[in-house]
Structure 1
Amino acid sequence: MLFRQLEYLVALSREHHFARAAQSCYVSQPALSEAIRKLEDELDVPLIRRGRKYEGLTPEGERIVMWAQRILADRDALKNEVSALRTGLSGRMRIGAVPTASGAVSLLTGPFCTAHPLVTVEVMADLRSEEILRQLQNFELDAGITYLHKDLSKNFRAVPLYEERYVLLTTTVDGLTDPTTATWTDASRLPLCLLTGSMQGRQVLDELFAEAGLRPSPRVETDSVAALFAHVRTGQWASIVPHTWLHVFGVPHGMRAVPLTEPARTVPVGLVVTTREPVSVMARALTEIARHTDVAADLEGLPGDTGPR
């Protein structure tokens, strides 16, 4: 009963709404409310600020949610560990990734699923770097693939995967004097379509432009990778994308990808898991796969012919 009460409380904390929390737990709203009320009685503290509608958790409730997430994660980890010892690894693994790391995720999930055929994998590939770390801390993810910052907290362990570098994505009639390479200054002179400023990938681009003494003024901004390619295809826009995207989308007909130089900086991307012991059996298994998979080699170079077609 305690596990169920904790599950309901965590769901309420996540959904901020009684009906949605009950729906996510596949119970009626009265059943969820009653279970949480009994938990309050057992702990002898109010967990929810009640009014005419849900008004959030009390400070005690916020603290209990942190313990609940840890207890439920330990329960699931114990079940997975016992199951792995008995019949091999099974269950569901949850991976969070920044949008630019889609190619790297697929290079890990393939060998992972081959090694562990009883495991299903859920990939959330549109998360911000800080959201991945938050969900790892809250036991909502088993592993993340994200940018490796120098100030990464000691609460996380990282396995470097590859260095992200950038290319100018244009049409074949872009006016560049050299079709094989371009500078950030060249890019700044073109009508740009870039990711929105709140996204980590865009923030990296802004830093690189700043290193060259430039400040980009994109005419179009989007949070969609597909929208970037669609805008460039029209012939009106250019964009700057990580080279890894080309291994997923290719270089569409009539477009080319030109490596950017001056500066030719790269950004490290890696697999991140928590350092908390005992490590999740899922995280441990994926880390082992990552250490024996040469992701960087698979993502080396640009796919196909990047020149005019």
Structure 2
Amino acid sequence: MIDKLEMFLAVAKEGHFGRAAASLGIAQPTLSTGIKQLEDQLGVQLIFRGSRFGGLTPEGQRALIWARQIVGDARQLRDEMRYSRDGLSGQLRIAAIPTALTWASRLATRFGEKHPNVRFTILSRTSIEILSMLENLDIDAGISYLDNEPTGKVSTEPLYNERYMVVCNAASPFARRDSVGWEELADQRLCLLTPDMQNRRIINRHFQEAGISPEARIESNSTVVLVANVLSGGWVTVLPFDMAAFLTAGKPLHAVPLAGAQRDHAVGLVAPYREPHTPVLRALLAEARRLSEV
């Protein structure tokens, strides 16, 4: 039944039989047959369908919750058995908010040095996408904000607190300053992350608390694009300390601390709430704890 539940999860996620079949690497008739067999086994219709996918039935919505839990448990069982045979090994899929990608790399490097048989896939995603991917079993863990917006029922391990910097070029009046006030950004040529990014929503709140509402003339979901604009013209951007330090290293740019009332925002590792965790996830959470202490 596990393979049929995997098919059901794929259809629920994609909302399309063809895309679901492609994601599983199987033919669409094989997928349709598997879903029909699952419905026969359960004795209910799970999906409204005519010539195309029509959504989940009420029974399908309830079955989706159980399917995620059962498939997750089955994957965890496989991981446990592989650990008893081979030690820590396999593939870890991590999605990180763009401003935490340096920490994702740092965590993967430290973990990989201790457990060379574990491979990593690291993706850049928004905080909302990370929670959705965890729920859909598309990733094993994420790196995201822990205290700014609801995270749901997850296991967490704090990594660091964000501190914000103005990134500018040498010609900027801010370049030789020890700090810059948020209110001083009111009339600057700003390039910032897109509004769907939680980091941008945090920055917008700081602007609001400073009594300003500056316009970002350039928006991107890539921190590399933001810094490239600062490098090529009279733009300024706002980035967390670690990402600012990484992207300005070796370039004629300056990262200046933002002063004034601002709250630290905790960023950390998030993983599906399961007891016990798989051996690999237990080790990853422990490594995140050690990294935060360093």
> What TM-score, normalized to structure 1?
0.88
- Structure 1: 5+ residue runs without aligned partners? 298-309
User: Equivalent residue for 1:58?
Assistant: 57
Q: State which of 124, 128, 131 in structure 1 corresponds to 2:126.
A: 128
What is the number of equivalent residue pairs in this alignment? 294
TM-aligned CA distance change 1:177 to 1:50, over 3 Å: closer
Q: Distance in 1 between matches of 2:175 and 2:40?
A: 74
Give the Å deviation of 1:31: 1.0
Q: State which of 281, 285, 288 in structure 2 corresponds to 1:287.
A: 285
Q: State which of 129, 143, 146 in structure 2 corresponds to 1:145.
A: 143
TM-aligned CA distance change 1:153 to 1:253, over 3 Å: closer
Consecutive aligned runs of 4 or more in structure 1 exceeding 6 Å deviation: none
Deviations 1:215-255 (A, max 9, x none): 22222222221221121122231111111213432345332
Give the Å deviation of 1:278: 2.3
Root-mean-square deviation (CA, aligned residues, Å) is 2.0
Which SS does the other structure have where 2:174 is aligned?
coil
Deviations 1:178-219 (A, max 9, x none): 523211122222111111222101001011112222222222
Identical aligned residues as a percent: 38
- Which residues of 2 match residues 200-239 of structure 1 at below 5 A? 200-239=198-237
Q: Distance in 1 between matches of 2:218 and 2:175?
A: 24
Give the Å deviation of 1:130: 2.5
Deviations 1:280-304 (A, max 9, x none): 3222110111122246x5xxxxxxx
Contact 1:70 1:138 in 2 (8 A): no
Q: Is residue 94 of structure 1 aligned with residue 93 of structure 2?
A: yes
Deviates more, 1:177-186 or 1:59-68: 177-186
Deviations 1:38-92 (A, max 9, x none): 1111111111111221112212112222212211111111111121122201211
User: Equivalent residue for 1:30?
Assistant: 29
User: Equivalent residue for 2:275?
Assistant: 277
- Structure 2: 5+ residue runs without aligned partners? none
Which SS does the other structure have where 1:176 is aligned?
coil
Q: Distance in 2 between matches of 1:229 and 1:267?
A: 22
Deviations 1:10-49 (A, max 9, x none): 1111121111111121211111101111111111111111
User: Equivalent residue for 1:40?
Assistant: 39
Give the Å deviation of 1:151: 6.8
TM-aligned CA distance change 1:74 to 1:169, over 3 Å: same
Give the Å deviation of 1:276: 2.3
Which residue identity lines up with residue 209 of structure 1 in the other structure?
Answer: F
User: Equivalent residue for 2:7?
Assistant: 8
